[in-house]
Amino acid sequence: MPMLPEVFDELSQTTQNACITGLLQRCKDYLKLSRVEMVRHYPDWDRHDMVYRGERQADAEDVKASERKEPMKMIVPLTYQQVQTFVSFCYGVFNQRDFFYELAGATPADEQAAKIGQAIIERDLNYNRFKSEKLTQFLTDIGRYGVGILKESWVHETVPVIQQVPDPNFVQMPGMPMVQPPMITQVTDATKFMGNKIIPVNPYRFFPDPRIPLTRWREGEFCADEIEYSRGDLEQLQRQQQCAGVEYIPAFRQEDLDGRRLIWIGKDPMLMYNNVPRFVLISELQIRLNPSKFEYAPGKVLNPAIDREIKCLVWMANDSRIVRLEEMGYAHDEFTYNVSQFANDQIRFINFGLAEILGPLQDSITWFINARITSVRKVISNRFVVDPSGIEVKDLTDRNPVIRLKKTMAGSGVDRYIQQLKVQDVTQSHLNDCTYLTKYGQEATGITDTILGQFAGGR
């Protein structure tokens, strides 16, 4: 929705007043408070992501194995299998009916309105590709990191449409025959979509109030996330009076980017935000404000009619400027995030996910498998014990198919001078150990054969 014209004008100034800069500092303090807590979880999340993806750094032994055209050490994808099974099971449960949200009227007179509302919500979900993309991302984050976040908002998206219309400035001359006015080209904004917009929020970009556990995030003083916008998108929003002062947004400073976790791994942050394409990092904060007491300019309050704290929306651009300030205006007066954890335990701020549970088991199974591969590689390698006085050692080092006895030893018997080294394989039971650990992992997570789709008799 457009901002109040008075607020839009204040935010459009080259230099913002003391009230706005005070709000800017308040928002920075909120983000700093949350970021100090959230960054503590990033190393664990990095580890869980590597466990989920089965990634590892190649060591010297892997390089040598690759040069010999032999398999390198592997990561057993146990966590990936369990997380994807969890995602598939939940996806099937949530989508087993024709409508994701089924509405029913409280009385027979409400049935028609309920069906209309049900159809509208389903249309919005389909437009957002919720079932095909957003839901699976949400569930994957819950399994991988232990927490998944979605953000909803009401949007009005438009597209420019070129039309030929009669010239509104044409004047018919008195006494002249009636003629058709000339046609001119007119560009108008046509509604593309009006409804709910759903965005999956990267857990590295989510900043709840850390003074309460995540199970009670709705009770916090604020809730925030960060997302990139192109300047072109912001300029379009400015034309709709949904943000202001876009032309005055300064470039990011390096010190402002320190400590942030960007989505693009390996990319230079300064290149992403200060060069073409022109990106602006928008920190969206949903905070509690009393509109009758908060002054956006000296002597001007946001809304004198509401004397209580409600949820208000603030956009901070590149940590340097407020470009949006308004009441959120939703009847529910809640933060517009949906936060779910794999385990809801208020004793911990953020709880574990499947990757944290399965990581140690996956490491053990991986070690057993790689030890088995290494042992088998040694067993099948042609290692010999030789008497250099009886054979041509050069034939061995050159890997010749024929190993010759020296002329002086001809006819004395080959087995006296060369024998294959006997190596005992002590890893034959490792595969059984892997089977046990895999089964134990299924029991620990609750993702059993029944959830995997295998029928079992009994209860």
Q: pLDDT digit string (tens) for 309-365? A: 999 999 999 999 999 999 998 999 999 999 999 988 888 888 888 888 888 777 777
Domain boundary pick from 356, 386, 418: 356
Q: Say if residue 382 is in the same domain as residue 251.
A: no
Q: Say if residue 143 is in the same domain as residue 258.
A: yes
Residue 136 forms part of a structural domain: yes
Before 277, cis peptide (omega within 30)?
A: yes
- Residue 422: its pLDDT value, please? 60
Q: Say if residue 244 is in the same domain as residue 381.
A: no
* Confidence band, pLDDT 50/70/90 cuts, at residue 260: confident
- Residue 248 scores a pLDDT above 90: yes
Residue 366 forms part of a structural domain: no
Domain boundary pick from 356, 389, 423: 356
Q: What CA–CA distances, in Å, run from 424 to 18, 186, 376, 380, 427?
A: 79, 85, 10, 11, 9
Q: Say if residue 157 is in the same domain as residue 219.
A: yes
Q: Say if residue 324 is in the same domain as residue 389.
A: no
Say what the pTM is: 0.79
Domain boundary pick from 356, 384, 401: 356
Instruction: Show the tokens assigned to 1.
Output: 């929705």
Q: Quote the domain boundaries for residue 296.
A: 5-170+180-356
Q: Say if residue 107 is in the same domain as residue 189.
A: yes
Q: Say if residue 289 is in the same domain as residue 380.
A: no
Residue 175 forms part of a structural domain: no
E strand or H helix that includes residue 379: helix 354-380
CA torsion sign for 92, 98, 104, 108 is negative
Residue 454 forms part of a structural domain: no
8-state DSSP, 405: B
Q: Say if residue 264 is in the same domain as residue 203.
A: yes
Q: Say if residue 319 is in the same domain as residue 397.
A: no
Provide mean pLDDT across the span 377-401.
67
Q: Say if residue 254 is in the same domain as residue 344.
A: yes
* Average pLDDT of the chain to the nearest whole number: 83
Number of domains in the chain: 2
- Residue 87 scores a pLDDT above 60: yes
Q: Say if residue 252 is in the same domain as residue 394.
A: no
Question: pLDDT (tens digit, 9 = 90+) per residue, 118-145?
Answer: 999 999 999 999 998 999 999 999 999 9
Q: Say if residue 404 is in the same domain as residue 330.
A: no
